[in-house]
Amino acid sequence: MSTSSSVGPAGPSSDDVFRSPPAMISGDSTSSSSSSSSSSSSSFSLSALTQAFPFSSGNPRIEETRGVMHLYRDDAVSSSSSDLPVGRKPLVCVLGVPNYMTYADFCQFCGSFINHILEMRIVRNDGMEDRYSILIRFDSQESTDNFYRHFNGRRFSSLEAEVCRVLFTVDVQYTGSIEHEQATPASSTDQPACPVCLERLDQDMNGILTTICNHSFHCSCISMWTDSSCPVCRYCQQQPEKSICSVCQTSENLWICVICGFVGCGRYEGGHAIVHWKETQHCYSLEVETQRVWDYVGDNYVHRLIQSKTDGKLVELNAHCTLDSDACGSCESTDSGLSEALLNSRVEAIVNEYNELLATQLENQKLYFESLLQDIKEETEREISKAVDKAVGQKLQKMQAKLDRCVKEKEILDDLNESLLKNQEIWKAKILEIEERGKKALKLKDDKIRDSEEQLRDLMVFLEAGKTMEELSLSSEIKDGTVLSIPMEETSSSSSTKEGKKVNNSRKS
């Protein structure tokens, strides 16, 4: 197998990419044998520090280039300058870049070093379906070391968890290329010019980026291309996800409804595509593998012409063509003497017929969905009416229950008011009775006080009279005298008069 490989139309060959020391990329068999003999002494020591990564590049439908890149291990490299690999080259590999990063995103990510980059090549690693790797060659070893220290372990985006993994590259070997399709004359000639600006691809003027489909551009030109596809061949590095049946999740014999996009399996698998037709009346379905449209109503393909697998020409499809490959092979062997003018007219007629069929089907689908919308509208109106009636009934029930509660509360309050009125009358009578008793008690107390005052006055008079008599008895001048009583008020009692008389009688004696 040849050690060199041819690449896409707009880029240089793989021998021209990353051409630095001879040990970096092998050229022809002579140079590779000489380099292997010169490095045989150091290969054993490097094998313990390096690891091999198989890679490939190119459009798999046209031509695919395969190779192996030898990279230093992560544990063999340190961030300090003294611990960097001895004998390293100004060539690194950014391993495992996520597919959501476009060429422009990566150029913007490493924008501070874009002026020091000579070449970048996008490759895909075996076993990494959703990632790609980038081989980068710098203008000096100092720029390479600074790039490694700055970006190794750094996150690609603050919103994502993926980090940039930079490894020093020992050697990149191309093992050969596989051509899947005959290249056209326009794509077989090398055009050493950028397809965007049409300027010469000169490394001294600007860095060169080679996409995964082997098309080369200036880094400044490709950085303005925000799409993930190639500007030349439209090959996308981020491949679409594989379709599966929406019901049973199988990936075999899939059919896609051309009306609503439902993905279902064929009748020889789970039959979910035909079930979808019976439920929705979507009668046209596209087979994923052959890209042909099947009509469930007519029970046949809508195509009159199909594309031959051998030369890509359109040939007539027999009316009794079946699904297996043998029958399609017989279709491909149809008489090749059909004139191209007749073929083009048939193609145009088929296109018109297909457009009419599609328009008819769309009109039927319009009527079908309008009827569904009408049914849904009527059902919605019925549900709204039921909901309104239910809401009104519930509201009336709540109001009636509230009214009943209010009536019961009113009755309770009336009974309470009546009992309070009765209690009020009772308490009024009791208050009057208490007032009468208070008046009588007060009057009785006043009488007692009055009697007590009179008795106290009489006692005072008596005491004063006794004191006076004692003073008179001591005097010798009074003999046979008569003691006159002190005049009393009209209101004095008879008992005081009697006491006075007794005093007078005692004095006389």
- pLDDT given at position 505: 53
In whole angstroms, how far apart are CA 426 and each of 44, 266, 372, 419, 434?
Answer: 123, 98, 80, 11, 12
Residues 471 and 474: their CA atoms lie apart, in Å, by 5
How do residues 67-103 score in pLDDT, each as one tens digit? 888 888 876 665 555 578 788 888 999 988 888 888 8
Per the CB < 8 A criterion, the answer to whether 110 and 56 are in contact is no
CA 358 to chain CA centroid, Å, is 38
Q: Is 84 helix (H, G, I), strand (E, B) or coil?
A: coil
pTM of the predicted model, to two decimals?
A: 0.45
Confidence band for 316, pLDDT divided at 50, 70 and 90 = low
Per the CB < 8 A criterion, the answer to whether 257 and 285 are in contact is yes
Burial label for 93, CB within 10 Å (0-12, 13-18, 19+), is buried
Pure H helices in 96-163: 103-109, 141-151
- Give just the sign of the alpha carbon dihedral 140, 141, 145, 148: positive
Most confident of 1-15, 343-357, 418-432: 418-432
Q: With residue 301 as reference, give the H or E element that holds it.
A: strand 300-301
- Give just the sign of the alpha carbon dihedral 468, 471, 473, 477: negative
Most confident of 22-26, 39-43, 140-144: 140-144
- Give just the sign of the alpha carbon dihedral 136, 142, 147, 152: positive
How do residues 235-290 score in pLDDT, each as one tens digit? 776 655 678 888 888 888 889 998 888 999 988 888 899 899 888 888 888 888 77
Residues 199 and 193: their CA atoms lie apart, in Å, by 5
Task: Please count the residues of the chain.
Answer: 509
Confidence band for 187, pLDDT divided at 50, 70 and 90 = very low
Asked whether residue 198 carries a pLDDT value surpassing 80, the answer given is yes
Residues 152 and 24: their CA atoms lie apart, in Å, by 22
Confidence band for 37, pLDDT divided at 50, 70 and 90 = very low
